[in-house]
Chain A
């Protein structure tokens, strides 16, 4: 399939310009006017406070309240879609990624149960594909996908009420190409916190000092006859080959935060002894089994939904493909921790490993080297 002639990006763009000009002259109703019409909906939301949130790229999460103050709000987010050449490992292997806001995964959004999420989805005319967004946290219209199909040069605004508390995946779901878009990086997660914050299942509050978002991504990069990964000239060129690899269900890469080693070295996550760290983990396509080497999951919502009591004291937790989970852990020892998908082949051969560097005092009671390695 790789040898079939493909239409060049340049040719496609030239065509788009010609068509686009005519359409624009025929007068598209200005977006502002349409937005005004939409707000005059059945539910009167005019009394609700509006807040606009600037999203930050993973593994970081934008500032937010853990316990909501006041009445439900309308929380505004903007996701700008970017199709881009994206490096997936340190050997120069690239894929044409489809991204929300340019990162793989897309940014984490945080709201509270009962809030309204108002998302502006922008598909700049520099893109070649049609996109949309399916929020697993939303109700109706295929998670909003049915209302947000945007062509290059369009935007759409979706509002949904966050009625379920938990961490939820969102992803692009364009007709006929869902898995391709999702495995090209077009997914992220939203956390809907209970209004009174996280609880241990017995009514006790579980606040956290830090939160990290680890998005796990499986890539399916085609190889040439010599076994080398193929780099494609434009986004459509690799489609058929990639699909062929995808159908074998064997990823070439399984990575955290978009790239092998993206959360290691200078980009390792940090914490201090005594800090309560909430680790949010999403996998939009494939099962995963997070494990913190040398640590535990004190409180874990494996399927990510906060009105279920968390599991306690876990060694490894299971997050089914198409879901996001949450694990709360208080670091007790300093050192370097590996946070991995404990299918260790995926962790160490395919890339699903991150590191935490944790500072603080060593606790001899918890662990002591009684005899350092010595001759027998």
Chain B
């Protein structure tokens, strides 16, 4: 490339390259803003109704299976603060909206075990189904939709978030005490609503304005199940995430293998499984949104 020595080329390089990059950048932004417009066969769907929660300090029971001296113990309470406002769907993803994703070939059909009447949440979906829907919705609406983390879900659930502590003596001499207490707790779980999914909003909204968090549809989160060994002071000795198993939130919190669409107590397990598996999403701002806000858009 000896020609680069020529003054004209020097000039071109100094001006045209940044200008070109700027142009490419503009095109990328424009594409991200308007991409769906180029695909008339796949029209916009209305962005789901959301609730925006301002960041605040809160505490909640950590997720995961904690052990001290090799004995299962209640997970610790953790103090947390979200990094920014949480934009979360007011309702769970509806069966009708999910069906649109299926119709567009971006989602596989749900396999609900219990068929409800009316505008019910989608059920019979696994973790992968939820992620596929989130990607499709992001594409269609131009937002960044993802599954909430367990922490975000706990935050949105507010005072209604179920504390899964058993509050037992933790000397570990009798492991059965924990099994029995947990069994009793699960057995006592309210099941007045039955297992049929009910129309969105049937279980009311909590103090944050988020609906149906304590209903009969449990929700996938993106948080991995984990096993945590702690010492007597609570310091973490080891932490091993198991990301093929995700945290499922709802009337109680439970780990669930990513591919399950219909939870059962299986194998030698003797717990009471969630009634139905569904999800709701949170929307993260795209990187350019603060910029757009600056320009008053």
The answer to whether B180 and A334 have CB atoms under 8 Å apart is yes
B272 within 8 Å of A (CB atoms): yes
Given the known interface contacts A91-B113, A374-B229, the answer about A336 and B267 at a Cβ–Cβ threshold of 8 Å is no
The answer to whether A372 and B264 have CB atoms under 8 Å apart is no
Interface residues on B, range: 20 to 34
CA distance A215 to B187 in the complex (A): 22
Per-residue interface assignment for chain A, residues 204 to 233, with 1 indicating a CB less than 8 Å from any chain B CB and 0 otherwise: 000000000000000000000000100000
Closest B residue, CB atoms, query A226 = B115
The answer to whether B270 and A336 have CB atoms under 8 Å apart is yes
Interface-forming stretch among A101-109, A299-307, A356-364?
Answer: A356-364
Q: Which of A355, A359, A369 contacts B70 (CB 8 A)?
A: A369
B177 within 8 Å of A (CB atoms): yes
A338 within 8 Å of B (CB atoms): yes
CA distance A293 to B268 in the complex (A): 7
Closest A residue, CB atoms, query B272 = A265
In the assembled complex, which residues on chain B have CB atoms less than 8 Å from the CB atom of A362?
A: 173-176
B288 within 8 Å of A (CB atoms): no
In the assembled complex, which residues on chain B have CB atoms less than 8 Å from the CB atom of A123?
A: none
In the assembled complex, which residues on chain A have CB atoms less than 8 Å from the CB atom of B70?
A: 369, 371-372
Closest B residue, CB atoms, query A356 = B270
Q: Which of B65, B177, B195 contacts A90 (CB 8 A)?
A: B195
B186 within 8 Å of A (CB atoms): yes
CA distance A69 to B265 in the complex (A): 46
The answer to whether A335 and B267 have CB atoms under 8 Å apart is no
In the assembled complex, which residues on chain A have CB atoms less than 8 Å from the CB atom of B240?
A: 374-375
The answer to whether B187 and A268 have CB atoms under 8 Å apart is yes
In the assembled complex, which residues on chain A have CB atoms less than 8 Å from the CB atom of B196?
A: 92
Closest Cβ of chain B: how far from A342's Cβ, in Å? Answer: 11
In the assembled complex, which residues on chain A have CB atoms less than 8 Å from the CB atom of B71?
A: 372
B179 within 8 Å of A (CB atoms): yes
The answer to whether B176 and A358 have CB atoms under 8 Å apart is yes
The answer to whether A359 and B180 have CB atoms under 8 Å apart is yes
Closest Cβ of chain A: how far from B270's Cβ, in Å? Answer: 5
Chain A, 318-358, CB within 8 A of any chain B CB? 333-338, 348-349, 355, 357-358
A365 within 8 Å of B (CB atoms): no
The answer to whether B238 and A334 have CB atoms under 8 Å apart is no
Given the known interface contacts A348-B266, A375-B240, the answer about A336 and B183 at a Cβ–Cβ threshold of 8 Å is yes
Q: Which of A334, A338, A357, A373 contacts B268 (CB 8 A)?
A: A338
Per-residue interface assignment for chain B, residues 162 to 203, with 1 indicating a CB less than 8 Å from any chain A CB and 0 otherwise: 000000000001111101100110111000001110000000
The answer to whether A348 and B267 have CB atoms under 8 Å apart is yes
Given the known interface contacts A338-B270, A348-B264, A355-B270, the answer about A374 and B238 at a Cβ–Cβ threshold of 8 Å is yes
Closest Cβ of chain A: how far from B189's Cβ, in Å? Answer: 9
CA distance A265 to B267 in the complex (A): 17
Chain A, 172-222, CB within 8 A of any chain B CB? none
A266 within 8 Å of B (CB atoms): yes
Closest B residue, CB atoms, query A376 = B240
Q: Which of A294, A349, A359, A374 has the most CB of B within 10 A?
A: A374
Closest A residue, CB atoms, query B268 = A293
Closest Cβ of chain B: how far from A93's Cβ, in Å? Answer: 10
The answer to whether A375 and B238 have CB atoms under 8 Å apart is yes
B114 within 8 Å of A (CB atoms): yes
Q: Which of B113, B188, B264 contacts A266 (CB 8 A)?
A: B188
Closest Cβ of chain B: how far from A168's Cβ, in Å? Answer: 31
Closest B residue, CB atoms, query A344 = B267
Closest Cβ of chain B: how far from A242's Cβ, in Å? Answer: 22
Q: Which of B177, B187, B264 contacts A265 (CB 8 A)?
A: B187
In the assembled complex, which residues on chain B have CB atoms less than 8 Å from the CB atom of A337?
A: 270
CA distance A354 to B114 in the complex (A): 23
The answer to whether A357 and B183 have CB atoms under 8 Å apart is yes
In the assembled complex, which residues on chain B have CB atoms less than 8 Å from the CB atom of A293?
A: 268
A264 within 8 Å of B (CB atoms): yes
CA distance A372 to B144 in the complex (A): 40
Per-residue interface assignment for chain B, residues 51 to 82, with 1 indicating a CB less than 8 Å from any chain A CB and 0 otherwise: 00000000000000101001110000000000
In the assembled complex, which residues on chain B have CB atoms less than 8 Å from the CB atom of A90?
A: 195
CA distance A339 to B31 in the complex (A): 60
Closest A residue, CB atoms, query B69 = A372
Per-residue interface assignment for chain B, residues 242 to 285, with 1 indicating a CB less than 8 Å from any chain A CB and 0 otherwise: 00000000000000000000001111101010000000000000
Partner-A contacts on B (CB < 8 A): 65, 67, 70-72, 113-115, 173-177, 179-180, 183-184, 186-188, 194-196, 227, 229, 238, 240, 264-268, 270, 272
- 13 more contacts with CB within 8 A, not counting A91-B113, A266-B187, are A90-B195, A92-B194, A264-B270, A265-B187, A266-B188, A334-B177, A336-B176, A336-B180, A348-B266, A357-B184, A362-B176, A372-B229, A373-B67
